[in-house]
Amino acid sequence: MNITRRQFAGAALGSARLWANESPELRQATGVKTGEITPDSAVIWARHTASLTRLDSGIVRKGHAPKAQPVKPGEDVNKFEGACPGASGAIRLTAEPVSGTGRRTSMGWVEVGPKTDFSHQFRLRGLAADTEYRFAIETRGSSRKAGAMLSGQFRTAPVATQVTPIKFALSSCQIYCRQDRADGFHIYPSIHRLQPRFLLPCGDNVYYDSDDPVVNSAAVARYHWQRMYSLPSVVSCLRSVPGYWQKDDHDAFTDDCWPGMQAKKGQAPFTFPEGQALFREQVPSPAKDQPMYRRFRWGRDIEIFLPDGRDYRSPNTDPDGPNKSIWGSEQKKWIKEAITNSNAAWKIMVNPNPIVGPDHARKNDNHANPAFANEGREFRQWLKDNVPGRVIVMNGDRHWQYHSVDPDTGLHEYCCGAASDAHAVPPSRGEDPRYHKFLRIAGGFVTVQVNPDDASAHLVIQHHDVHGAVVNRQTYKKPSV
Half-sphere exposure of 257 (CA within 13 A, CB side): 29
Residue that finishes a domain, picked among 155, 180, 198: 155
Residue 94 in this model has a pLDDT that exceeds 80: yes
Do 232 and 372 lie in a common domain?
yes
Say what the pLDDT of residue 25 is.
Answer: 56
As a whole-number percent, the residues of the chain with pLDDT over 70 amount to 94
Average pLDDT score over residue span 332-354:
98
pLDDT in tens, 187-209: 999 999 999 999 999 999 999 99
Q: Is the pLDDT of residue 11 over 60?
A: no
CATH number of the domain where residue 90 is located: 2.60.40.10
Query: Is 22 or 361 the better-scoring residue by pLDDT?
Result: 361
* 112: confidence class by pLDDT, cuts 50, 70, 90: very high
Q: Is the pLDDT of residue 15 over 80?
A: no
What integer pLDDT is reported at residue 5 of this predicted model? 52
On whether both 371 and 453 belong to a single domain, the answer is yes
User: How many other CB atoms sit within 10 Å of the CB of residue 223?
Assistant: 23
pTM summary value? 0.94
Average pLDDT estimate for 31-52: 97
Q: How many CA atoms lie within 13 A of 325 on its CB side?
A: 15
pLDDT tens figures, 121-131: 999 999 999 99
- 457 and 327 in a single domain? The answer is yes
- Asked whether residue 3 carries a pLDDT value surpassing 70, the answer given is no
Question: Residues 275, 416: one domain?
Answer: yes
Is 192 found in the same domain as 131? no
CA-CA-CA-CA torsion sign (90, 221, 188, 350): negative
Asked whether residue 180 is assigned to any structural domain, the reply reads yes
Is residue 351 a part of any domain in this protein? yes
Asked if residue 64 is part of any domain, the answer here is: no
Whether residue 21 is contained in a domain is answered as: yes
Q: Cα separations (Å) of 44 from 109, 203, 417?
A: 14, 20, 27
- Does residue 58 form part of some domain? no
| pLDDT (tens digit per residue) in 393-448 | 999 999 999 999 999 999 999 999 999 999 999 998 889 999 999 999 999 999 99
**CATH code of the domain covering residue 348:** 3.60.21.70
Last residue of a domain, one of 120, 155, 190: 155
Co-location of 112 and 258 in the same domain: no
| The last residue of a domain, from among 102, 130, 155 | 155
31, 229 Cβ separation under 8 angstroms: yes
Give the model's pLDDT for residue 26. 67
pLDDT value of position 18: 35
Query: Does residue 379 have a pLDDT over 80?
Result: yes
Number of folded domains that form the chain: 2
pLDDT of residue 217: 97
Q: 457 lies in a domain?
A: yes
Same domain, 335 and 464: yes
253 lies in the same domain as 297 = yes
Distance CA 475, CA 346 (A): 13
Q: Give the containing element (helix H, strand E) for 257.
A: none
Segment 351-380 mean pLDDT = 96
pLDDT of residue 481: 64
Q: Is residue 257 part of a domain?
A: yes
Judge whether 70 lies within some domain: no
Concatenated DSSP letters of 194-218 = H--SEEEE-S-SS-TTTBSSBP-SH
Residues 88, 201, single domain; the answer is no
Please tell me which residue, 13 or 340, carries the higher pLDDT value.
340
Same domain membership, residue 197 and residue 172: yes
Range of the domain at 268: 166-476
Q: Which pLDDT does position 344 carry in this prediction?
A: 97
Q: Are residues 198 and 113 in the same domain?
A: no
* pLDDT band, very low/low/confident/very high, at 9 (cuts 50, 70, 90): very low
Question: Average pLDDT for residues 74-99, to the nearest whole number?
Answer: 96
Query: Do 112 and 172 share a structural domain?
Result: no
> Would the pLDDT of 450 be above 70?
yes
Q: Taking all residues of the chain, what is their mean pLDDT, rounded to a whole number?
A: 93
For residues 342 and 303, the answer to whether their CB atoms sit within 8 Å is yes
Tens digits of per-residue pLDDT, 259-310? 999 998 899 999 999 999 999 999 999 999 999 999 999 999 999 999 999 9
